[in-house]
Structure 1
């Protein structure tokens, strides 16, 4: 049975569950499989060892939590947390199929979840950028760590460094107006932790020490075909937000938008699919105790 702890009553959480979850499920092959190269550059560098107790924050479909569970082995454990239980159901099923038994998935708001301060490592891949209150969430993540424990989060760098999202947004803004200030959203956004000075200050206020940044560049697959890539961009990300918020105008200009996106993305078709560059920060910090 799913465990739920304090994940309701947050407008961002409601937006995830009402609007984004069905789209994430539809494009799971991109949101998980498309990150293959990026993850391959990150996971071997994580300070996780056999027997560790690990928290995976914003674990989504559970692929990172399962990988961490394999890393820590049967004497270790992983707690995977996300605000969307439909995502976690995928993780539970995949863990069962893979016979990975040292993992537990919990639907919860990371900002308020009552962590046990006994974990060696706290991890998040693209899950911390959407917190309503980043400092509160980061502080609570620190509360999950034993003294000396490490937190590592992967966050996107600026949109200019991520053409897999930036290029489609540039294209669609030639046809549609930018979203208004009253647009519903999933939180601060994918680039809210791109500024190293801001993030360092957030982590220091949250009580961390020894903050380090490492740049990670890797190709990212955004669709198995041009049609798949265009549909993905119209559903999610910055281009998808512009399209969604434009409403009827987007419907009227749909054919021209699709044609423009196909033209822009055609140069990035490979044997693997439509592949563009991506860039993130691997941010590590320590709980001093």
Structure 2
């Protein structure tokens, strides 16, 4: 089934003229360059040099994508600053989206060869197992349980449960200041459960989505919003005059790139991209999340066998 799907994609791709960018084995990001992709594949003002000579042997995923002329990438679309789809323009933006675009360029795929697919969190492993996508980038925490089904490159970002407050709030600087406060998080989420179980003097308000929590924070209905700090940084970057992230993460989540479990070659390749591309990683972070005011460092990868 995967071969048939790839053949169909290859036939469709053959009708499209592909123009590769500058010839280089390493990619670069420029905050001054305009994105050259289509509306679906485009992102911020970052541009990545597409490699014209890729040394990747033993990856069935890469071989199939190269044959088809299309790279299928799973992402999210509802997280500002990380993975967001503008319903009007069709433009995808965010840190995770740009990480995905950077990897694609290093694999030798231009913007118009990327096929982004929105995959819900609950369906990520199955999409990789089924061969529906080639890799996934979208606040995907590395866990031993998930490694039973798929592989992970990275981590490319380490975060944890954090706190978002109003920009003029001086009462809450960390989780130590939550006693007597009202905190919002998503219904049934791990961050909400953590507050309820470990912060008994803190009132919690659940909503279906984090955007509803942010609206409640802005109208003064709650004192703080809590979830992964990376997600909160995205909201703060979107409205830096109204919102800010305070304190340090008080749990730990390591975000990785999900790949097919048996494709160690692809996993090692992506890990090398991260290890050798510190300057590019920093440019991506600065472009997408830098306005939040948070300073972070790129983590070392876990290039397991």
- State the TM-score, normalized to the length of structure 1: 0.30
Which has a greater percent of helix? 1
Structure exhibiting the larger radius of gyration computed from Cα positions: 2
- State the TM-score, normalized to the length of structure 2: 0.29
